[in-house]
A and B are shown apart, each in its own frame.
Chain A
Amino acid sequence: GIQVEQSPPDLILQEGANSTLRCNFSDSVNNLQWFHQNPWGQLINLFYIPSGTKQNGRLSATTVATERYSLLYISSSQTTDSGVYFCAVEYGGGATNKLIFGTGTLLAVQP
């Protein structure tokens, strides 16, 4: 099956710093999503980005599907950005496409 790997596995930042999280996938995908899992365990939808670049406030994401990777940029980080960031890909056919989640990046933003 498809492999989804994220790097770095852990990241510690000072408040105000910028960071780039990476998601590599081993096969062609139909779609890709980025999620933030907050300390309460909730999965927050950040981006639906099968290709191209999107921005939402301090966050932006770029997916280069032909090269099988996606990047999540966090600028001017805040303590509330702490948590685990997952990318998840959809591949395959059929009536519905399951999401395959990556291994996650644990981000800690220190004041």
Chain B
Amino acid sequence: EPEVTQTPSHQVTQMGQEVILRCVPISNHLYFYWYRQILGQKVEFLVSFYNNEISEKSEIFDDQFSVERPDGSNFTLKIRSTKLEDSAMYFCASSQDTSAQYFGPGTRLTVL
């Protein structure tokens, strides 16, 4: 069964550094999403992406964040200058249409 994959599984970085989280969505899916979950809290929406542009973004998704689909398979989330409060699990998701979303295993980001 096709699945969403994410790399790395765990990323440790120093405050102020840039990080890029990578995702490979399910191949025939057209809609892509990033969510995050701070430890012990619920999952929060960050951004959705369709037709090579951002469809919607949350208040969390400020100028420090950007997304890109650099080729036909990868979908990336970049945080330009990480802060301590960016420490969280980041999930990528994809969907074929505006129906069921399938989640990747997540990248645990730790900012020191």
Contacts and interface: CB of A to CB of B under 8 A. Distances in A.
B35 A99 contact: yes
B42 A33 contact: no
Q: Is the interface of B mostly helix, strand, loop or mixed?
A: strand
A96 B100 contact: no
Interface residues of B, number: 28
A110 B98 CA distance: 38
Interface residues of A, number: 24
Interface of B: 31, 33, 35, 37, 42-45, 48-51, 55-56, 58, 89, 91, 93, 95, 98-103, 105-106, 108
A16 to B, nearest CB: 29
Interface of A: 30-31, 33, 35, 40-43, 45, 48, 86, 88, 90, 94-104
Contact of B43 (A45, A88, A97): A88
